[in-house]
Structure 1
Amino acid sequence: MTTLQTFYKIKDLQEREKKEKQKVYQEQVDHFETVATDLYELLKRKETAADQFAEQLKLQTVKAQSFIQHEQFIEQLDKQINELQPLVQQARNDMENAHEHLSSAHIEVKKFDSLIDRRLQKHKDWLKVEENKSMDELSTRQFLNYKNR
């Protein structure tokens, strides 16, 4: 049974590693959500600005200066969006890698769970066999003692 205690210790170690990887994964998810939200807000601002400018064009005549300002604003947003897109992709990749590490850690814990369960079942089976042997031996002795009288 000492090997079973060793398996329990290894399983505890694997569970601690799994919790650490789960924490890292959650941090990666939070980081991805933050960066993706920033990108979404920029895209939303760009869309809103374009819609407002289009509405303004429908309602009245617009000065050339307004066109230039609008174009500069859209270019600035495009630049920010283009800078943020690789960061979002990197955050997504980091999050997916952390998820893979978490999944493998979960699998390792499950392996040790099943290994421990098999060892326990094997030990129970062995105990049952030994109990049956002792019962057979006891009944044989009683039978022989009874016959010898």
Structure 2
Amino acid sequence: MNYQYKFGRVLALKEREKDEALSLYQESVKKFEEAAQKLYELLKKKEDLEAHQATGLQKGLSIMDIRQQQLFIGNIEKTIHHYQKMVINARNRMNLHQEKLMEKNIEVKKYEKIREKDFELFLRELKANESKQMDDISIQHYMHRGG
């Protein structure tokens, strides 16, 4: 007697959905890390430019150089602002995919638990059938010997 899990196809589907959710989550983590890294690099660049500008002001820069550096810092600040939004959006997507992945994990675990209990029931029934067959054989054997 072979064991056949009645929700086997559903479990397989749920596992595929979980794998897809994991893939989407991993991709969202990667995009978040890329955006965060770029933001970090821009912030570092701005910090370095401001330090360079402060040093230049102490040594004496021309007004043209100061304006040019301020314009450049202003452009970097706009880019930083853009990347801050990208990081926030990427984090939100990553959190959403993480929640979906957790939901899929829970669904798979439920079906695995059902399968586990169903298999235990199958084994108990199998053992009961075997025991009944042994009893029947013993009774037949006893009857043939003439009791």
Query: TM-score band, normalised by the shorter chain?
Result: 0.7 to 0.9
Contact persistence 1:4–1:116 (CA under 8 A): no
| 1:10 paired to 2:10 | yes
Q: Which has the larger helix fraction? A: 1
Amino acid at match of 2:24: V
Provide TM-score, normalisation by structure 2. 0.85
Query: Paired residues, what number?
Result: 147
Provide TM-score, normalisation by structure 1. 0.84
The 1:41–1:14 alpha-carbon spacing in structure 2 relative to 1, beyond 3 Å, is same
Report the equivalent of 1:88. Answer: 87
Measure the CA separation in 1 of the matches of 2:83 and 2:11: 41
Q: How does 1:21-40 map to 2 (within 5 A)?
A: 21-40=21-40
Measure the CA separation in 1 of the matches of 2:124 and 2:144: 30
Identity, % of aligned positions: 34
Amino acid at match of 1:138: I
RMSD in angstroms over aligned alpha carbons? 2.3
Unmatched runs of 5 consecutive residues or more in structure 1 = none
Measure the CA separation in 1 of the matches of 2:52 and 2:60: 14
CA shift for structure 1 position 2: 10
Contact persistence 1:21–1:102 (CA under 8 A): yes
Q: Secondary structure at the match of 2:47?
A: helix
